Amino acid sequence: MKISARNQLKGTIENVEVGAVMANVKIKIEDPGVITALITKESVESLGLKEGDTVSAIIKSTEIMVGK
């Protein structure tokens, strides 16, 4: 599959918490360590995501905010 997003971080799923509608997926990567993705419960089920799976976190954004 080809996609336009260039920011792809490979990692391993540390935890999946599935709620009624949404799921919280924690992905262990080298830096910054752990990122969290909030995705639909349907997506978790469709992809068969579970702890220990190797995945790619694909980041696509039209804007970047910087705070100090």
For 21-55, the pLDDT digits (tens) are 999 999 999 876 898 899 999 999 999 999 999 99
User: CA-based Rg of the chain, rounded to a whole angstrom?
Assistant: 13
Region for residue 6 given its phi and psi (left: phi exceeds 0; alpha: psi -120 to 50; beta: otherwise): alpha
User: 44: how many CB neighbours lie within 10 A of its CB?
Assistant: 20
SS3 of residue 41 by DSSP = helix
Q: What is the pTM of this model?
A: 0.77
Give me 65's structure tokens: 């905010």
- Which CATH number applies to 7-59? 2.40.50.100
Range with the poorest average pLDDT among 2-11, 22-31, 59-68 = 59-68
Region for residue 36 given its phi and psi (left: phi exceeds 0; alpha: psi -120 to 50; beta: otherwise): beta
pLDDT recorded at residue 64: 66
Domain spans of the chain, in order of start: 7-59
